[in-house]
């Protein structure tokens, strides 16, 4: 196998939405192949028939595509080692299983589920490792084969060698050692044509000529089992690299209680794929230096598994928000308006594109997520709702507020419908002179938006126009009569 042209893979199970941890693993595999000119394979491990669902498989495809992680081979792309779904590869596993059984390296286990559960409970009660050292491992293979005819509820187990040290070099963690005595005789198939995870993954990696297995740290305990199986079948052992876990702010494994965990949730929340790609790439790996915004090409050129950290990586949503904001500000107003369309309120559909572009241009410097555009700009599409008390600046009396609004109305009445921000500024500041700006501008801004915080009133009036702005001033005066 040519290790200078790496073949890597991710092999998600379609039993749930694409998790950010799986996406990060896919991204690191993708960057590794881009750096070294290799091949990135997507394989679907769908042998869990009860939990696998095509809708989750579709979610995996769409999530990776949205992030810009395109496999070179996979169920959609095809490739020289198709098919790329485990359920379509059962004929392949059968021949390997038959060979292991014939060589006495695997065996039939006839224990019932009840017996196994009782054994497990007993071991736990005795505070001993929950390992199954199966008594059927010494049964004559021919006798066992005959017994399968009358006891069809068997499973197939691997005959784990005793007293064997499994040592492998992890590209990220260095040398790792396990004792085979801590593994037990683990199951590898439900039936001769129904493989389980540990067995299927080893066969698939061989059949697809995978040179490097880059996956999460939670798989590290599986690696000795996979090495034992590969050696038993006289297959080459791939290079391994186990990525650090993704942690929440409390340093526990990232879960729903920390917030969103799927790629789809971040997409729906208004994060840009480029920002998510950049953020995930730096989740457990750092190229050095202070730079944090990178193009995909820069990340691929700089990427190195040797510089991936060993300790867990904190999923910092505050940093993701900052990074997303940076990518939002790098967009042209036209492109950003198109991206914001799904997030505007329903009333926005009544407005023309030019009007929406003005609103997006106004909010672009402040947005962290596209989803914020709806709530932040609703007052552009319908009259604002607010309590009259909000119009009060400091200790202004009701009469002073009404006077300020009346003054504002007179200034607006003299403005043209196409007046610009600069026109409003000049008119108002000339009128205010050395007076209290807040006393005039605070009631004006609240009357326009109904909000405590918003962009400046002059930018808002330029978009609303003088006529609509004057209408809102009159409504504010009416509201003050009931305060």
pLDDT band at 153 (very low <50, low <70, confident <90, very high): confident
Please pick, among 55, 95, 256, 394, the residue that the annotation labels catalytic. Answer: 256
Vertex 59, ends 57 and 65: CA angle to 5°? 110
Active site residue 319: no
* Stated pTM of the model: 0.91
Which pLDDT score, from 0 to 100, does residue 1 have? 39
User: What does the pLDDT average to over 414-426?
Assistant: 90
Query: Strands 165-170, 174-179: parallel, antiparallel or unpaired by DSSP?
Result: antiparallel
User: What does the pLDDT average to over 153-179?
Assistant: 95
User: What does the pLDDT average to over 411-434?
Assistant: 90
Beta bridge partners, 176, equal: 168
Q: For 25-78, what is each residue's pLDDT tens digit?
A: 999 999 999 999 999 999 999 988 889 999 999 999 999 999 999 999 999 999
Q: In angstroms, rounded to a whole number, what is the distance separating the alpha carbons of residues 116 and 223? A: 24
**324 phi, psi to nearest 5 deg:** -65, -40
- Which of these, 363, 359, 355, 341, lies nearest to 270 by C-alpha position? 341
CB 109 within 8 A of CB 134: yes
Which pLDDT score, from 0 to 100, does residue 164 have? 93
Domains of the chain (ranges; CATH) run 1-80+244-330 (3.40.50.620), 332-381 (1.10.8.70), 383-483 (1.10.10.350)
Per-residue HEC secondary structure of 241-254 comes to EEECCEECCCCCEC
Residues 6+ apart with CB under 8 A from 390: 446, 450, 452
Q: Please, is 332 exposed, middle or buried when counting C-beta atoms within 10 Å of its C-beta (0-12, 13-18, 19+)?
A: exposed
Q: Please, is 465 exposed, middle or buried when counting C-beta atoms within 10 Å of its C-beta (0-12, 13-18, 19+)?
A: middle
Q: Please, is 169 exposed, middle or buried when counting C-beta atoms within 10 Å of its C-beta (0-12, 13-18, 19+)?
A: exposed
């Amino acid at each position: 196998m040519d290790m200078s042209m790496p073949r890597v893979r991710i092999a998600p199970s379609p039993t749930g939405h694409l998790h950010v941890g799986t996406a990060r693993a896919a991204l690191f595999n993708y960057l590794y192949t881009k750096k070294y000119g290799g091949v990135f394979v997507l394989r679907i491990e769908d042998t869990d028939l009860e939990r696998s669902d095509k809708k989750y498989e579709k979610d995996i495809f769409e999530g990776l595509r949205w992030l810009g992680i395109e496999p070179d081979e996979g169920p959609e792309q095809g490739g020289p080692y198709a098919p790329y779904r485990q359920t379509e590869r059962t004929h392949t596993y059968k021949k390997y299983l038959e060979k292991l059984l014939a060589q006495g390296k695997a065996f039939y286990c006839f224990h019932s589920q009840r017996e196994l559960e009782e054994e497990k409970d007993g071991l736990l009660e005795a505070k001993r490792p929950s390992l199954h050292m199966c008594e059927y491992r010494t049964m004559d293979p021919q006798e066992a084969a005959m017994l399968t005819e009358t006891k069809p509820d068997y499973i197939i187990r691997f005959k784990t060698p005793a007293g064997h040290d499994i040592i492998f070099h992890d590209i990220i963690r260095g040398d790792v050692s396990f004792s085979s005595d801590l593994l037990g005789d683990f199951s590898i198939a439900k039936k001769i044509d129904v493989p389980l995870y540990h067995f299927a993954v080893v066969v698939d990696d061989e059949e697809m000529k995978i040179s490097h297995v880059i996956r999460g740290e939670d798989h590290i305990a599986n690696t000795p089992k996979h090495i034992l199986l590969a050696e038993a079948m006289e297959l080459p052992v791939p290079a391994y690299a186990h990525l650090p876990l993704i942690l929440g702010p409390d340093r526990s494994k990232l879960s729903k209680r920390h917030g969103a965990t799927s790629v789809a949730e971040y997409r729906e929340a208004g994060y840009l794929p480029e920002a998510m790609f950049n953020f995930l790439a730096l989740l457990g790996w750092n190229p050095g230096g202070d730079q944090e915004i990178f193009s995909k090409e820069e990340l691929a050129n700089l990427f190195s598994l040797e510089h991936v950290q060993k300790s867990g990586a904190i999923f910092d949503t505050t940093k993701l928000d900052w990074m997303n904001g940076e990518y939002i500000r790098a967009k042209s107003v036209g492109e950003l308006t198109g991206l914001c369309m799904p997030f505007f309120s329903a009333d926005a559909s009544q407005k023309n594109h030019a009007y929406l572009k003005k609103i997006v241009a106004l909010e672009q410097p402040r947005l962290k997520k596209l989803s914020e555009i709806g709530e932040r700009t609703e007052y552009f599409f319908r009259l604002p709702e607010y309590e009259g008390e909000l119009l009060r600046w400091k200790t202004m009396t009701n009469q002073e507020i009404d006077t300020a609004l009346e003054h504002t109305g007179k200034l607006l009445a003299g403005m043209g419908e196409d007046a610009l921000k600069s026109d409003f500024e000049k008119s108002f500041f000339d009128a205010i002179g050395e007076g209290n700006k807040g006393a005039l501008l605070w009631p004006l801004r609240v009357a326009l938006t109904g909000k405590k915080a918003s962009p400046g009133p002059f930018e808002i009036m330029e978009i609303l126009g003088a006529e609509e702005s004057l209408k809102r001033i009159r409504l504010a005066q009416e509201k003050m009569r009931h305060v």
